[in-house]
Amino acid sequence: MINTILKSKQTYLILALTAVIIGWWLVIQAGNLENVYLFNWSYGLIGLSSAIYGWHIARKKWGGYSSTVGKLLTWLGVGLFAQWVGLQIWTYYNLIAQVEVPYPSLADIGYFGLVPAYTIAAIMLAKVCGIKFSLRSMKGKLVVVLFPLLALSLAFGLFVKNVGFDTSNPIQLFFDLAYPIGTIIPATIGLVVLFAANENIGGKMRSRILWLIGAFVLQFLTEYLFLYRSGNGTYVNGGFVDLMYALSYAVMGLGLVGFSQLEE
């Protein structure tokens, strides 16, 4: 997989954008807060270019929506594109509406779009990895039951239990519950695949599958960090969370590049 990544021009686009973003982030941390909203808008380009590339590879190499791998790549692209849409709207609120942290807002239509998109992608990943064969074993059955229970416990323990069920703002209540529960689902499915189907996944695709699972986990950690910081009022535009978002888009983008070629 590394050879495939190194040979692709898309890799260097992603790395160049990421390098610029990291450099810019360091400048922001040094105290130069000018254009911090533009910084946020800019790192979305990593996700956007990766989304477009993912759709291109899905169609060109994997039969588009007619194959399970094609569907996997397509929905990963949808998730990245949804995040880009969310960033556009978020930046509008920052720059035009002068709202520092617009939550909940129309931006969440984009941001939350990641959840169903990545969930569908994760389900496709599980199908590709033959999860149905793994469910024939006791270990597989145990993992499929235990991991979601652990994930829901984590979501509840860290966030859901602190949600005040104030129905005067039903939209905020929905997102306060949906984000911690929803964002853990793709990573949970990925980890179920890793632990239940690990022996079945081999060949050239193994490294690619593992990379995607890692990307799901990184995205989940980023989302939870955002929830934690925004929950306790410590989220700032251009902060560590935004760097994590940029890196999570880059990692997923490189994962998509891995599917552009199966090197011999």
Partner 1 sequence: MDMYSQIVEKIVRQQESIIGPIAIERAEAVSGLSLDWPNHKVTISGDQKTVIDNLVDQYKALFGQVSVEVSKDAARKVAGVTPELLPKSLQ
Binding residues (CB under 8 A) for partner 1: these are 61-64, 66-70, 127-130, 133, 197, 199-206, 262
**8-state DSSP, 137:** S
Which residue, 114 or 126, has its beta carbon nearer to partner 1? 126
Which residue, 82 or 131, has its beta carbon nearer to partner 1? 131
Closest contact distance (angstroms) between CB of 133 and partner 1 is: 5
Neighbours of 205 (CB within 10 A): 16
Spatial separation of the C-alpha atoms in residues 70 and 62, rounded to whole Å:
5
Closest contact distance (angstroms) between CB of 94 and partner 1 is: 41
Which residue, 63 or 157, has its beta carbon nearer to partner 1? 63
Closest contact distance (angstroms) between CB of 129 and partner 1 is: 6
Spatial separation of the C-alpha atoms in residues 78 and 121, rounded to whole Å:
9
Q: Is the peptide bond before 104 cis (omega within 30 degrees of 0)?
A: yes
Which residue, 62 or 226, has its beta carbon nearer to partner 1? 62
Spatial separation of the C-alpha atoms in residues 40 and 91, rounded to whole Å:
7
Spatial separation of the C-alpha atoms in residues 264 and 256, rounded to whole Å:
18
What would the DSSP string read from start to end of 72-127?
HHHHHHHHHHHHHHHHHHHHHHHHTS--SS--SSTHHHHHHHHHHHHHHHHHHHHH
Closest contact distance (angstroms) between CB of 62 and partner 1 is: 4
Closest contact distance (angstroms) between CB of 74 and partner 1 is: 12
Which residue, 64 or 148, has its beta carbon nearer to partner 1? 64
